[in-house]
Structure 1
Amino acid sequence: MSEGKQPSHVEDKVFLVTGGAAGVGAGIVRTLLLENARYVAFLDIAVREGSVLEAELLEKFGALRAKFIKCDISDEEQLGAAFRQVFDKYRRLDVVINNAAMLSADDRAYKKIVDVNFSATINSTLNALDIMGADKGGKGGTIVNLSSLLALRPKARLPVYAATKIAVLQFSNSIGAESYYSQSQVRVLTVCLGPTDTAILQKPNISNFDKDYTKDLTARAPIRQRVESAANGIIEVINRGTSSSTWMIADDKPPVDITKNILNGFEAMSASLDINSLGF
């Protein structure tokens, strides 16, 4: 390693990526292997897309570098089994990227949206801490939880989706705080993605929306950053981020550390409401 160069948190590391068969997830998986990750397991319910991607990666990078695992992450038993499968194979796990998300215009589907976007992120994070946490016999590691810029917008158009993403942000910042990190030695990082040219905004997902809503959604995000920009930005965050930090990746620009913005916003709100005097 040349003098002054940051150590890589990717090279020769074992990764688990949720929602990795298409879109940003697939972009992350490809980029990790290009950056010389030792092994990348990616979870998804999309069997055809996952199998095709696995075949592509094995041909390009060689045997035993990538593995598709069919998994409904909202099912606690399936997700736990996937973690065990990866750990049993390599006897280690270094980085977990919780990328999987569900977007729907039908708020009546709230339970599934909450289960996939938030509950599964909690479950995956806790599974990762059980394996990687120094206080659990592990060697430390990194967890990246994907949120959204919608989490930072009041009165967001997608109320349930936006609510799950602000929940991910608050959960990640809290469980990545120094009091937890000092024990686990596992960094927990949050990435707020801007509109990205990913499968979640394209068919077949977009076809689930009514026509008027589809027009409104595409009009609100007519220009979306490339998947490659999002994936490369996430790699940079993994290499640079400190635990409990929050990053923004949008408009095909490098990631921006917005931790101070988030903290200042909450502190201003707490002060104006005098919440601290209530003992919280």
Structure 2
Amino acid sequence: MQIKDKRVIVTGAASDLGLTFSRELLRNGALIIVLIDSRQSPGEQVVENLNNEFGRKRAVFLHCDVTNNSEFDVIFKEAINILGGLDILINNTNVINEIDFSRAVDVNVTAVIRGTLLGIQQMRKDSGGKGGVIVNISSIAGLQAVSQLPVYSATKHAIVSFSRSFAQPYHYDRTNVKVIVLCPGLTGTPILEDLPQDISSTDILQKYRPQRVESVAHGLIYVIRCAQNGSVWINENGQPVYEVQLPDTLPQKKTESDVKEN
């Protein structure tokens, strides 16, 4: 999809990554962006900066706790009214919290699922929409086991599976809404809330060296323009994004000889 003159919603938009996503989308011609986040002061500052850079009313901030389902529904509808429709949705809500796992699930999984469903509801062609693109931001932790962050890894695996399932022809043939997954490596300054006592934020940052947010934003633009529905993309170490192929069938069953060899 071309980005010029498109209407966009970005959730988790007050983060370094959300701001850079929004800036790069506007730089590439997006008509207007609604930025949704629970952090009001940073969010308002982000919008002020974007409007100073790209012109008045190109960016609008809406305060919302996306883990509050009813509030998210109301704010999403308000965003649609402001935009006059929706073409692109970036679900970027994210937190690392290994102690309060329900908090991690609410932010990283439930909010992304709900955002996806709300976006599809607005864009689906079988309800009068024109289709569109949804990019769900997962992580390379959603494609591998991460011993230091098992809860975070589980939530990011969930987003990969959910997104690929919703991209199947059963849904896409009716909605004409692409659902794509972008899996960055550790980027910028991650939102680290609660970690086990034997793991510090310093440990995480040393083991997974962050890349620049601009690298991931450039990858996002490429994915929106070029990626196929249901595809999964990795952006790590500041390198260009690349697509990975995940199996659509069950893993091959181990034979008796395989078991004996192990």
What are the superposed Cα offsets for residues 92-119 of structure 1, whole Å, 9 maximum, x if unpaired?
100100011111232xx11111011001
Q: How does 1:158-173 map to 2 (within 5 A)?
A: 158-173=149-164
How far is 1:81 from its partner? 1.4
Aligned length: 255
Please provide the CA RMSD for this pair.
Answer: 1.9
2:205 pairs with 1:214: no
How far is 1:154 from its partner? 2.5
> SS of 2:200's equivalent?
helix
How far is 1:218 from its partner? 2.0
CA distance in 2, matches of 1:142, 1:97: 9
**Paired residue for 2:258?**
none
Q: Which residue of 210, 214, 237 corresponds with 1:251? A: 237
2:159 pairs with 1:138: no
Say which structure is richer in helix: 1
TM-score (norm 2): 0.91
CA distance in 2, matches of 1:14, 1:187: 15
How many percent identity over aligned positions? 32
Determine if contact 2:181/2:233 at 8 Å carries over to the other structure.
Answer: yes
Q: How does 1:216-231 map to 2 (within 5 A)?
A: 216-221=203-208, 223-231=209-217
Structure 1: segments with no counterpart, 5+ residues: 1-7, 275-280
CA distance in 1, matches of 2:163, 2:24: 24
CA distance in 1, matches of 2:129, 2:200: 47
**Paired residue for 2:10?**
17
How far is 1:12 from its partner? 0.5
> SS of 1:267's equivalent?
coil
Instruction: Provide closer, same or farther for how the CA distance between residues 40 and 227 of structure 1 changes in structure 2, counting only shifts above 3 A.
Output: same
Q: Which residue of 86, 91, 101 corresponds with 1:93? A: 86
Structure 2: segments with no counterpart, 5+ residues: 256-262
What are the superposed Cα offsets for residues 157-216 of structure 1, whole Å, 9 maximum, x if unpaired?
21111111000000000001122111100000001111112342xxxx468775852232
CA distance in 2, matches of 1:53, 1:155: 32
Instruction: Provide closer, same or farther for how the CA distance between residues 119 and 207 of structure 1 changes in structure 2, counting only shifts above 3 A.
Output: closer
